[in-house]
Homo-oligomer: A and B are copies of this chain.
């Protein structure tokens, strides 16, 4: 069947019909009262997904534009910074810092493992000149959710360094409390938990970070967060905003808040647990342990079939799109997104199709075992 697809990659994610409809609204003038009111209505919903009372700014751009904004606004060339690398997106943060001639120190973890806050604490104790610590909340390339709350606590105990977090593939799907946890900068994108097409990036920052940003003289223009902050304080934007995506954002925030953020977070936890239970039952290895696993994406590391052969078969037969591995994990893993516009029912569908695909590429399994394990998990924790 044409025009049929099950998009189960960790972003872009499927768009809810009412969000699609919202994006169809008639175009408006970006300096008109309608736009002001739209920005005003959006702001509270954005603040709550970041857990902050500070302004959240919105830029037209990819997630990487937001990561770069988090770098160029907070530090200056020659500053010493620490980047905690647990996968491909930690590596991207480091590359951005290197492009700006910062003195970049890396603490690297094996891909598939989470960072260990105490180790970062020790590192900072021994390296007191570090100005900022860059870390990834959900490392999309491995399906690890790093312990950002504990990391921030550990950093603050021994250092004045800013804690700057890439939350692109999880904010809106997992609890994020910028103010309470004392995160200094957090970035997310539109095409993941927020159920929108790619093209918007959101940045929240602490009072401490804003003070530093306001005084930073590093050259920047489009990514100058000072411009966005002073504009949003007047319900405006410094440059033409991506209006159709903002129309959709209002509706997607409405969906998240009418479900209730706590319920949204539980749904993602449940989808993760169902997915993991299924692969355990099928005796197919997961890349990460339970402790480190992200509620938004699960990486599977098969030892007796080729990940990309399965992916190809699933796409061809069912329109089911899974993600492959990146860098050295290319060809060695596949990744299932269960994020945003995705429910336990979708997880059951995904697993049942994967079972069929496995059978068809010659992997011996008992059909239904994965689905059953996911169903049992649902009954245990999901049917409240």
Contacts and interface: CB of A to CB of B under 8 A. Distances in A.
B23 A100 contact: no
Contacts of A240: 11-12, 62-64, 189, 191, 198
Nearest to A319: B26
Contacts of A30: 12, 198
B245 A29 contact: no
A219 interface: yes
Does more than half of chain A's interface fall in helix, strand or loop, or is it mixed? loop
Nearest to A33: B315
Nearest to A66: B222
Contacts of A63: 239-240
Interface string A253-274: 0000000000000000000000
Contacts of A77: 219
A64 B219 contact: no
Contacts of A197: 27, 242-245
Interface stretch (A13-21, A128-136, A156-164, A278-286): A13-21
A303 interface: no
A5 B32 CA distance: 12
Contacts of A189: 240
A325 to B, nearest CB: 12
Contacts of A32: 321
Given A62-B241, A65-B61, A239-B62, A99 B29 contact: no
A134 to B, nearest CB: 13
A321 B223 CA distance: 30
Give the most central of A65, A198, A243: most B CB within 10 Å: A198
Interface string A72-105: 0000010000000000000000011001110000
Given A29-B323, A61-B222, A221-B99, A199 B244 contact: yes
Given A12-B30, A240-B12, A240-B189, A99 B219 contact: yes
A151 interface: no
Contact of A241 (B28, B198, B241): B198
A143 B64 CA distance: 35
Contact of A219 (B15, B101, B221): B101
**Which 5 pairs, one residue from A and one from B, show the smallest C-beta to C-beta distance?**
A199-B242, A197-B244, A62-B239, A198-B240, A65-B222
